[in-house]
Structure 1
Amino acid sequence: MSYILNHGDRWKARIGEKKKVSMRAVISLFILLLAINLCIAVDRSKFKTCEQAAFCKRHRIQEKTADYSVDPTSVKANETGLQATLTSEVNNLKVELVLLKDNVVRILLDEAGTPLRPRFQPLIALNGTPVHEHVIAAEANPESASFVTPTGFKIIMNFKPFRIDVFNSKKELVISVNSKNLLKFEHFREKGADAGEDGFWEENFGGHRDSKPFGSSSVGLDVSFIGFKFLYGLPEHADTFALKSTTNSEPYRLYNLDVFEYELNNGMSLYGAVPYVIANNPTQTVGAFWLNAAETWVDIASSTADKGVLASIVDKFKASKDVPQMDAHFISESGLAELYLILGPKPYDIFRQYASLTGVYPLPPLFSVAYHQCRWNYNDEDDVAMVNAGFDQHDIPMDALWLDIEHTDGKKYFTWDPVKFANPQKMIDGLSSKGRKLITISDPHIKKDDNYPVYKEAKDQGYYVKNVEGNDFEGHCWPGASLYLDYMNPEVRNYWASRYHFDKYIGTDKNLHVWNDMNEPSVFSGPEVTMNKDARHFGDWEHRDIHNIYGFLQTISTHKGLIERADKKVRPFILTRSFFAGSQRVAAVWTGDNTADWDHLRISIPMMLSLSVAGIPHVGADVGGFFKNVDEQLLVRWYQMGAFSPFFRAHAHIDCKRREPWLFSDPAMNAIRNAIRTRYSFLPYWYTLFYEHSKTGLPIIRPLWSEFPEDEQCYDEEREFLIGNGLLVRPIAEPDVTQVSLYLPGRRQVWYEWNNDKTRPSPGAVYVDATLETIPIFQRGGTIIPTRQRPRRSSALMKNDPLTLYVAADTKDFANGTIYLDDGETYDYENGQYLYWGFTYKKESDFVYTITSKNLDPKGEFDPDVYIEKIVVRGVRYYPRNVHLYYDDYNPEGLEFEHIRDKHLIVIRKPGAYVSREWRIDIHT
């Protein structure tokens, strides 16, 4: 209570600007905030366990297993797959087994006949309608039906009991669906029917009643991965990268929630949900995507294939007791049983196939890949100007400054505080003059205030989510009483998009971008701090049906608005807290409200890797930790990790001490400056990786096994990661260390320490120095990495700076790399205004080594007048005599170079070769 009395004015300011609010009201709301975990650590009693979710409990116990069998007379084959009817004592289902383009199999289960209600299918997650592929060698017999894919996989639908087996081109069983007979499909029935099970028609939790007017309609299905020891995916959880067995613990839960200062090392829900797993072994990589937007629980089990129905199949090619097996049991509260099997067979194939299914992250504006400065909240325009100037005064680059909820007029989004932010356009201009952007927050809760045009317009148009009685759903969030826009309605999505137009969002221009927060949706007064499941959406869907895509729908609307406002001339940037499969098509993601401690720094790495392999590449964690004050050492180490995260933003809670880098000691500030400058030096490499992701679906940061699937030693590695295929980074997530160990993967592979050029062979563990100024960074032999070495105050001012190439020779004296350049901001690249070139280093003869430049995409016509100012060649095992540059229309020019023999290094200075021209450099020995 003393805290409330001492801080009442602050809370009063947050909830009641411009209004007279009693201290009693402030205290009441503060107690509410305490109750919903906004000012205390996680209260697990506020969030359900599987035992407390009736449908999860029923599926997990499986007291009444329905033995589904295929009716042989119902089987129909067509050019792209199979259809059949499943029968059981409980109900009948229809099954579709369809082959999709690029080695993906879709399994769809629904009620047969005419159900009482349709089931929700979150097709918004898919990147358009999947393209069907023709099957080959289709056949049927009394016990099964099957087909073969063009890549040699055989898919068999077994009739009794129902089971789907997938054999690879080597005739090895790799996936089996329903091998444990866990298929459970609760059909719709008339109100009042005796389901014979608790929680079928209504459920209570935490003082909230879920009325379930249509009863329970849950679905569940098991998938076994044969020959695999590891599964990955299922973001978002603050847990290990390799999924853990849940046999004796809670399943992983996928139910988007606002969880304050989340706990680590468990499967509790967080802000986003991607029901997708990947299995990897040295010869095969496969995945399974469960397309369902309802609350979902996933059990993971690890075993061998020597039990159950699969043993006899596996024994045909290897003793089943020696074959590892991983099982995933998907359980969802409603919707269809829709499963996509992604067949690989290699990691790069999996990434491409899943990206083809759910989409890629479009090429972002360059500034978004640079450094962002944020806190809750910068106080006013003078504060923004001071921070903006501070980065220049201390020679620290920065590209975007962020404003949290306090910049608005009383938590009314698309408005400005009339006193503190009276001239927003001038503020934006001040940032823009230095090549920087402003990012403001806009959340889906709308303040209940008839004088607020957004509230009134949406109210008049009937644009809000309804409660079970059919009235507007009302809950509490930052503004107090709030209503929530129903983004299921296309008209609402168009309305929300229109709010970002320059004539509606007054005081903004193209240099303002957007942060969508609290969009799980967060409802302080709701069950589990979110919306009641029996709330109703456009299309007569319950909130339980669509919960996990609510935030995705908001960001789709925001993305539409940001494109429209500038006639699709400027690429938008959006950050979202809530996400689903497909969210990568419109937004970046961060790991939410973390804490300033070493464990949260450590867990950021597996969290980012899980998001990355699940198709969401632009990811990061709040640098410094959102909650609590941070000590200098931890802050430095967090900046160093952030500098090698795809999304790099510092952020802090309103009650934390200010954290601008210059507020710390000189050693700490210098280390932070060095980390941020390091990020900027690698921007050409980062930007190229984002471009290549937009074409291939490859993650930006990658687990070691994605590049070295044959190296089983790295399968559970989560202390380090790869950036593209060329850099390995091992952030320091332990206090008071000056030396750390790390694992270098790959057979007959060579690595080079970035900071001292030392050569390190692999595979194996190495110990390296890690002073407060540095973290271990390694360049992979066989790669060429473009950098820019001139410090600037923002990325916009670096666009035409020359490049330095780092060439790292492999054991065969070969290396290659790429560079992508465009204007960094507009959509002109879609009309050919881009450059995508490749560099190659190789041994041409016994006496000549060459470095060449080649245009990889002749459609690109961008000519930025950027040249190469230095080339560093690592791994030199010869003595160079002279170096010459050749253009097609020029005589060879002798180049200045230095041979550093003890480091096996050649440094070629001022070659003057332009990026947009083909050239060759010969190194004569």
Structure 2
Amino acid sequence: MILNTELEYKGNQFPSNIISYKKDVDVLHFSTANNVKLRLTVLRDSVLRFRYTTVGKFTNDFSYAIDENASRGYNHLEISEDTEKYIVTTSKLICHIYKTDLRKSIYDVKDNSLICEDELGFHWEESYELGGDIVKMSKASQNGESFYGLGDKPEHINLKGKRFENWATDSYAFGKNTDPIYKAIPFYTGLHNGKSYGIFFDNTFRTYFDFCHERRNVTSFWAQGGEMNYYFFYGPKMQDVVTSYTDLTGTPELPPLWALGYHQCKWSYYPESKVKEITDKFRELKIPCDAIYLDIDYMEGFRCFTWSKEYFPDPKRMVKELADDGFKTVVIIDPGIKIDMEYDVFKEGLEKDYFCKRADGPYMKGKVWPGECYFPDFTRPEVREWWAGLFKELIEDIGVKGVWNDMNEPAVMDVPGKSFPPDVRHDYDGNPCSHQKAHNIYGMQMARATYHGLKRFNYPKRPFVITRSAYSGTQRYTSTWMGDNVASWEHLQIANIQAQRLAMSGFSFAGSDIGGFAEQPNGELYARWIQLGVFHPFCRTHSSGDHGEQEPWAFDREITNIVRKFIEIRYQLLPYLYTTFYHYSQDNIPMLKSLVLFDQEDVQTHYRMDEFICGNQILICPINEPNSKGRRMYIPRGEWYNYWTNELIEGGKETWVDADLDIMPIFIKSGAIIPKYPIQQYVGEIQMEQIDLDVYYKNGKEDSELYEDANDGYDYTKGRYSLLKFNLVGNEDKLIIRIHKRGQYITPYSNFKINLFGLPFEVKSIKVDNEDVSLEDVNFKDNSLIVTKEFTNLQIIG
């Protein structure tokens, strides 16, 4: 982009006046005198798509990001015009398109307030070096506007005043402000005057975003090729913007419940005896764990889809023995295929011509862990199909339950840029292109092929995949982690911000390498990181292993006990986390909410980045500094219970919270009903006979939910699930809980242990489904009671 305003017009070209307009159902076509065309599609009342071409015709409309099941349809569409503009009106928006230069302004239909307007609007610069255009869009920034999103950027949660680049990059030991890094998610939300909108720039080339960095009142985004093609979403609530974007780009199906358990990983656990030593220690110390990971050393010479005969002579037996002890085995698979004519995977890929080629015909050759490799072109459907088929032995025969895709930016060693050169060619599903266009989606298409392989060979169980690189829409196939971080207090804070930002960018199923990948944490840092990590949707310790051990017991007994305590809390909260995932999967609602996403009307939240809401009712604030006995934190508006003391706090202000090393600030929203399982060492270890419901009194109303199914498999898609909706109403002398159930799943337990917190009255009587029960019959003690059947109405009377 140009560095100052005076130069802004040099080299840039702009649309001239509109000479024709045509409406085709929900698509509006505008053409200008200098051959620019704008295609405006009304997807929904609050979602508009703007697509431009400068050469008079559009290329094939194809995107890897868009979910085929995305919602379409609107309630109202009306087009009118006056002397200076066309006016497009839906039930939510008014869009003005100016006849002189195609610039646009978008207003809220309710109060005619301005939401977003073009500054220069669409413009472009011919790139003789790259070919095609550098396509640009600039918007006027409104007073007090804030910006959020863009995936995994390790920056302040509020992006205002910053500039970013989207180019998937292997960023080993990245730091605060490193850019670009592993993911390219070109979606952001803007917020001003209490109203939020979003923009998704669906362009896979190297893209840039400037949030009032170059010029104080201008936000712009541009790409080194491809189309100016973006979607506009309107809230006015930020959560509605995020859910609309997530609906467009998709959500994952429900994972198996074990995938929400605790995972242990290291570069590398080998041989088999070391793996068994680690898993035995978890069971001996009674630290819950559901998954053990094998990094690249499990392979024969780092060849994907092979096993080292020396380290793992009988992988099928080992995987079964681990499974019998409650451990799912997850293995790493990278994209680089070693050049070796004795290696079946390479030989088949070569024979079928499945590898990426340079422009002049030779295969793309690069060094990765196995040495010199070729790389599959995952943008070809037949290559994805082949890749999916390669998982048969790993999954169906040996019994591996999850696959971890690494190095898929793609990362290449010993070359400038650490990736493919730009002249590498890709099929792009029948839209042939150079690597400049395919780079940002390479990891996504690898993860997609991996997901389909696991889905096929693990059926009827659900697949579990984790990827390092991603583009918008990758969340449909896989979970993710933030890449090769560092064992430092700064990185603990970065992990918190990245998880929040990814959730705001449609990608909730994410977590960091707990404790840091590079270097070695001390016990205090590891304990504080576990405390944060157990409230991230994906929860895994991972380390490079260069500097020592990083298992929960690698420090002293005090740290081991703290780590166990918090992993146990995660296992107790599995039904809450699973219910949160259900709402992410079904309703596109982010699993983590930055405070601004939770309560955008409170301007105090716009720059808060430590505190976040897990689900909808648990407030978390990690301790980011060593030797801390507590911290100041912002409690959002409303009433919140301190999880540890049950003290009720009025929000809307900053307050000091005590937090010794074995405590992290956790608050529960008043009125919440939090479901809890008994502590188990792995998912499915014990037959559930009882579930706890922690009920937090509120003088008023609050809704909560509990979603359950068989924890794996696809019966839930046929109605075999249970969704309990709790409606709590409290006043000075009574608490009423009404339950409405949907679904046909019969839970394995019949007992509900109800733990009441914060009651302002002494309990005198209890009614279950309008019948009086004696306090003895429900084992009433210390404000806890047990109901031995599903009920629809519970009254606690003072």
Work out whether residues 884 and 892 of structure 1, in 8 Å CA contact, stay in contact via their aligned partners in 2.
no
In the alignment, which of 139, 155, 158 is matched to residue 239 of structure 1? 155
Letter of the aligned partner of 2:736 in structure 1? T
Which residue of structure 2 aligns with residue 819 of structure 1? 706
> Using the alignment, how far apart are the partners of 1:225 and 1:649 within structure 2?
39
> Using the alignment, how far apart are the partners of 1:829 and 1:698 within structure 2?
19
Letter of the aligned partner of 1:253 in structure 2? E
Which residue of structure 2 aligns with residue 280 of structure 1? 191
SS in 1 for 2:316: helix
Letter of the aligned partner of 1:816 in structure 2? D
SS in 2 for 1:796: coil
Pair 1:885 & 2:771 matched: no
In the alignment, which of 875, 896, 902 is matched to residue 758 of structure 2? 875
Which residue of structure 2 aligns with residue 830 of structure 1? 717
SS in 2 for 1:662: coil
Work out whether residues 175 and 491 of structure 2, in 8 Å CA contact, stay in contact via their aligned partners in 1.
no
Which residue of structure 1 aligns with residue 736 of structure 2? 850
SS in 2 for 1:439: strand
Pair 1:557 & 2:449 matched: yes
> Using the alignment, how far apart are the partners of 1:334 and 1:130 within structure 2?
29
- Select the structure of larger CA radius of gyration: 1
> Using the alignment, how far apart are the partners of 1:863 and 1:59 within structure 2?
69
Of stretches 639-648 and 226-235 in structure 1, the one that deviates more from structure 2 is: 226-235
Which residue of structure 2 aligns with residue 610 of structure 1? 501
Pair 1:508 & 2:398 matched: yes
Give the drift of 1:65: 2.8
In the alignment, which of 106, 112, 134 is matched to residue 171 of structure 1? 112
Matches within 5 A, 1:35-434: 62-71=9-18, 73-88=19-34, 92-113=35-56, 118=59, 121-128=62-69, 131-133=72-74, 135-151=76-92, 153-168=93-108, 169-177=110-118, 179-181=119-121, 183-184=123-124, 186=126, 200-201=128-129, 212=130, 215-226=131-142, 228-246=144-162, 251-266=163-178, 268-281=179-192, 283-301=194-212, 327-434=218-325
Q: How has the CA–CA distance of structure 1 residues 60 and 711 changed in structure 2, closer, same or farther, with 3 Å as cutoff?
A: farther
> Using the alignment, how far apart are the partners of 1:297 and 1:412 within structure 2?
36
Q: Deviations over 1:147-173 (max 9, x none)?
A: 11123x101111223211100021011
Work out whether residues 395 and 401 of structure 2, in 8 Å CA contact, stay in contact via their aligned partners in 1.
no
Which residue of structure 1 aligns with residue 695 of structure 2? 807
Q: Deviations over 1:477-536 (max 9, x none)?
A: 11110111001111000000001123x768522x52100000000011333101111111
Work out whether residues 81 and 135 of structure 1, in 8 Å CA contact, stay in contact via their aligned partners in 2.
no
Which consecutive unaligned segments of at least 5 residues does structure 2 have?
none
In the alignment, which of 660, 667, 678 is matched to residue 771 of structure 1? 660
SS in 2 for 1:572: coil
Which residue of structure 2 aligns with residue 541 of structure 1? 433
Aligned length: 794
Which residue of structure 1 aligns with residue 681 of structure 2? 793
In the alignment, which of 786, 793, 797 is matched to residue 920 of structure 1? 793
Give the drift of 1:269: 0.6
Matches within 5 A, 1:427-442: 427-442=318-333
Q: How has the CA–CA distance of structure 1 residues 244 and 114 changed in structure 2, closer, same or farther, with 3 Å as cutoff?
A: closer
Of stretches 554-563 and 869-878 in structure 1, the one that deviates more from structure 2 is: 869-878
SS in 2 for 1:922: strand
Give the drift of 1:829: 0.9
Work out whether residues 485 and 513 of structure 2, in 8 Å CA contact, stay in contact via their aligned partners in 1.
yes
Of stretches 581-590 and 346-355 in structure 1, the one that deviates more from structure 2 is: 346-355
Which residue of structure 1 aligns with residue 359 of structure 2? 468
Q: Identity of aligned pairs, percent?
A: 28
TM-score, normalised by the number of residues in structure 1: 0.82
Q: Deviations over 1:669-723 (max 9, x none)?
A: 1111111111111111000000111111111111112221211101111111001
Give the drift of 1:349: 1.7
Pair 1:866 & 2:753 matched: no
Letter of the aligned partner of 2:101 in structure 1? P
Work out whether residues 147 and 188 of structure 2, in 8 Å CA contact, stay in contact via their aligned partners in 1.
yes
Work out whether residues 121 and 335 of structure 1, in 8 Å CA contact, stay in contact via their aligned partners in 2.
no
Q: Deviations over 1:102-149 (max 9, x none)?
A: 51000001233358xx47843444445763546533112332111111
Give the drift of 1:817: 1.1
Give the drift of 1:863: 0.6
SS in 2 for 1:353: helix
Q: How has the CA–CA distance of structure 1 residues 661 and 130 changed in structure 2, closer, same or farther, with 3 Å as cutoff?
A: closer
Say what the alpha-carbon RMSD is for the aligned residues.
2.4
> Using the alignment, how far apart are the partners of 1:278 and 1:240 within structure 2?
15
Letter of the aligned partner of 2:157 in structure 1? F
Work out whether residues 395 and 457 of structure 2, in 8 Å CA contact, stay in contact via their aligned partners in 1.
no
Which residue of structure 1 aligns with residue 476 of structure 2? 585
Letter of the aligned partner of 1:84 in structure 2? F
TM-score, normalised by the number of residues in structure 2: 0.95
Q: How has the CA–CA distance of structure 1 residues 695 and 702 changed in structure 2, closer, same or farther, with 3 Å as cutoff?
A: same
Give the drift of 1:393: 0.5
Matches within 5 A, 1:486-497: 486-497=377-388
Work out whether residues 80 and 133 of structure 1, in 8 Å CA contact, stay in contact via their aligned partners in 2.
no
Letter of the aligned partner of 2:175 in structure 1? E
SS in 2 for 1:602: helix
> Using the alignment, how far apart are the partners of 1:750 and 1:506 within structure 2?
50
Letter of the aligned partner of 1:176 in structure 2? E
Q: How has the CA–CA distance of structure 1 residues 473 and 895 changed in structure 2, closer, same or farther, with 3 Å as cutoff?
A: same
Give the drift of 1:798: 4.7
Of stretches 140-149 and 876-885 in structure 1, the one that deviates more from structure 2 is: 876-885
Work out whether residues 883 and 897 of structure 1, in 8 Å CA contact, stay in contact via their aligned partners in 2.
no
Letter of the aligned partner of 1:771 in structure 2? D
In the alignment, which of 517, 521, 525 is matched to residue 410 of structure 2? 521
Of stretches 421-430 and 644-653 in structure 1, the one that deviates more from structure 2 is: 421-430
Q: How has the CA–CA distance of structure 1 residues 360 and 348 changed in structure 2, closer, same or farther, with 3 Å as cutoff?
A: same
Of stretches 354-363 and 133-142 in structure 1, the one that deviates more from structure 2 is: 133-142
Give the drift of 1:277: 0.6
Give the drift of 1:263: 2.1
Letter of the aligned partner of 1:866 in structure 2? Y
Which residue of structure 2 aligns with residue 647 of structure 1? 538
Give the drift of 1:629: 1.4
> Using the alignment, how far apart are the partners of 2:298 and 2:4 within structure 1?
45
Which consecutive unaligned segments of at least 5 residues does structure 1 have?
1-49, 187-194, 202-211, 305-324, 900-906
Letter of the aligned partner of 2:747 in structure 1? P
Q: How has the CA–CA distance of structure 1 residues 225 and 134 changed in structure 2, closer, same or farther, with 3 Å as cutoff?
A: farther
Matches within 5 A, 1:638-677: 638-677=529-568
Q: Deviations over 1:331-382 (max 9, x none)?
A: 1111111010001121232132112210012211101111000000001111
Work out whether residues 281 and 712 of structure 1, in 8 Å CA contact, stay in contact via their aligned partners in 2.
no
Work out whether residues 142 and 192 of structure 2, in 8 Å CA contact, stay in contact via their aligned partners in 1.
no
Q: Deviations over 1:601-650 (max 9, x none)?
A: 11111111110010001111100100011111111111111111111100
